[in-house]
Amino acid sequence: MLDIKFIRENADLVKAAITKKHISFDLEDLLAVDRQRLVILTEVEGLRTKQNQVSKQIVETKDAFRDGLIIEMRSLKENLKTKEEELRETMSKWQRLMLQVPNVPDMTVPDGNSDADNQEVRKWGEPTKFDFTPRNQIELMQLHDMVDFERGTKIAGFRGYVLKNDGALLSLAIWQYVMSTMTKKGFVPLVVPSLVRKEPFIGTGFLPQSEEDLYKTQDDTYLAGTAEVGTMGLYADEVFDEKDLPKKFVSFSPCFRREAGSHGKDTQGLVRVHEFYKVEQVVLCEANHETSVKFHEELTKNAEDLMQALKIPYHVVLNCGADIGLGQVKKYDIEAWVPSEGKYRETHSSSYFHDFQTRRLNIRYRDAEGKLRFAHSLNNTALATPRAIVPIIENYQQADGTIRVPEVLIPFMGKEVIGK
């Protein structure tokens, strides 16, 4: 959420952000409601002041004027009640509109109409080439009895799956390797809830805009599509000291996503499923743009280090305006090479938000001068499964159909080759 004062003073900048992010929102509507809100608020405060004055006069008056003051008090109360209800309705509309205002993207974010307009920043490794016809993820995993899609669908419905044997062990190995690596880098390991109240979803910007992609329970809670939601909820409505910054977490959770609007895309395999698992980097830092940029690059490098250790070819793209979310200032995607498709596929996203999320969640710190400030927040996928399994097994396959295990995963996997 942006500060309303910032919105009023930088309306043209916010309008440009709306256009760049391809968001349908009428800023003039918000500004009109904001002006109405201030007028009514002034009227309410005036009536409350007048009511206090008349109440004091009633106590101090003993003569015939007292009856007149009592009548005046009744009228004030009725007017105040009417205005307070008008203020509540206006505030409710104002708050709904405020939640729809996008954050202003960094000046380096390119224009674009879709993810096709994202710009490659750098590339690591060369696309894997084979002297044989490579198998795809489904063929490889079924060959080695690593997955059961048929029974997974029987259990969970469309896009259901069951990882088994080395498929299950490979997933566990990835989690352990990533958590171990990130903990050594000073990140606090967390396992956070997937079942989360509405407030952290609003705070992180997933509500109200992305509700169609969330699973909602009968108890008015939601299933999170990323560990970011639960992690950011940790410090909602709390204040800490600047010396405690930065706060760096590596969070694990099961994740759920309806994949609304993706009908016909990746209907088979492990790339686009409804239930998956993520290890997420989350950082809270001081309210400083340069500090946010520094951590954004650091988090992205952490993810790249993991990919390089796994020896998976990838490239990093800078997301265009149409492919960054409501609250993001800037976003990178890391995309891994998938041999069977002959292209890069997204495996990570890395974003920073300034105080967009923390203002919604009321996460503040007291700076060296004693002033309360909203912290800045960032997040980045460390690795997500089962999606990460796809580039690993496809890039590490051999002519006889066996799959080499990446060296860094061998201690966690307990074997060097799948299929021997």
CATH number, domain of 273, equals 3.30.930.10
pLDDT at position 187: 98
Annotated catalytic, 66? no
pLDDT at position 321: 97
pLDDT at position 66: 75
How far CA 348 is from CA of 81, 96, 107, 176, 204, in Å, comes to 52, 31, 22, 18, 18
DSSP assignment of 8-74: HHTHHHHHHHHHHTT----HHHHHHHHHHHHHHHHHHHHHHHHHHHHHHHHHH--STHHHHHHHHHH
End-to-end CA distance of the chain: 54
For residue 389, is it within any domain? yes
Q: Which of 189-203, 256-270, 336-350 has the lowest mean pLDDT?
A: 256-270
How far CA 291 is from CA of 75, 183, 283, 288, 298, in Å, comes to 55, 21, 11, 5, 11
Check whether residue 134 and residue 227 sit in a common domain: yes
Check whether residue 87 and residue 176 sit in a common domain: no
Which of 66, 258, 272, 345 is catalytic? The answer is 272
For residue 105, is it within any domain? no
Structure tokens at 277: 């698992």
Indicate whether 261 pLDDT > 70.
no
The mean pLDDT of 272-291, rounded to a whole number, is 96
Indicate whether 108 pLDDT > 80.
yes
Annotated catalytic, 211? no
Check whether residue 345 and residue 374 sit in a common domain: yes
The values of phi and psi at residue 12, to 5°, are -65, -40
User: What's 31's domain CATH number?
Assistant: 1.10.287.40
> What share of the chain in percent tops pLDDT 90?
87
Indicate whether 63 pLDDT > 80.
no
Check whether residue 153 and residue 122 sit in a common domain: yes
The mean pLDDT of 38-60, rounded to a whole number, is 87
Annotated catalytic, 349? yes
Last residue of a domain, one of 98, 130, 147: 98
The mean pLDDT of 391-414, rounded to a whole number, is 97
For residue 109, is it within any domain? no
Indicate whether 330 pLDDT > 80.
yes
pLDDT at position 264: 64
For residue 148, is it within any domain? yes
Check whether residue 31 and residue 119 sit in a common domain: no
Which of 37, 257, 359, 364 is catalytic? The answer is 257
Check whether residue 216 and residue 302 sit in a common domain: yes
Q: How far is C-alpha 362 from the geometric centre of its chain's CA atoms?
A: 16
Residue 59's domain spans which residues?
4-98
The mean pLDDT of 30-38, rounded to a whole number, is 97
Q: Report the alpha-carbon distance of residue 382 to residue 302 in Å, rounded.
A: 7
Supply the mean pLDDT for the chain. Answer: 94
pLDDT at position 113: 96
Annotated catalytic, 8? no
| CA atoms within a 13 Å half-sphere pointing along the CA-CB vector of 157 | 3
pTM of structure: 0.92
For residue 57, is it within any domain? yes
Give CA torsion, residues 250, 171, 317, 295, to 10 deg: 10
pLDDT at position 61: 76
For residue 249, is it within any domain? yes
pLDDT at position 262: 63
Q: Pairing mode, if any, of strands 162-163 and 147-148?
A: antiparallel
Last residue of a domain, one of 98, 123, 152: 98
Number of domains observed in the structure of the chain? 2
Q: Report the alpha-carbon distance of residue 391 to residue 336 in Å, rounded.
A: 6
Last residue of a domain, one of 69, 98, 127: 98
Q: Report the alpha-carbon distance of residue 194 to residue 199 in Å, rounded.
A: 14
The mean pLDDT of 332-340, rounded to a whole number, is 97
Rounded-to-5 percentages of helix, strand, coil across the chain: 45, 20, 35
Check whether residue 263 and residue 398 sit in a common domain: yes
The mean pLDDT of 164-177, rounded to a whole number, is 97
Indicate whether 197 pLDDT > 90.
yes
Handedness of CA 283, 289, 295, 301 (dihedral sign): positive
Check whether residue 197 and residue 289 sit in a common domain: yes
pLDDT one-digit tens code per residue, 346-391: 999 999 999 999 999 999 999 999 999 999 999 999 999 999 999 9
pLDDT at position 263: 64
Check whether residue 130 and residue 56 sit in a common domain: no
Check whether residue 406 and residue 332 sit in a common domain: yes
Which of 253, 349, 350, 377 is catalytic? The answer is 349
> What share of the chain in percent tops pLDDT 70?
98
Check whether residue 179 and residue 293 sit in a common domain: yes
Annotated catalytic, 346? yes
**Confidence class of residue 420 from pLDDT cuts 50, 70 and 90?**
confident
Check whether residue 122 and residue 94 sit in a common domain: no
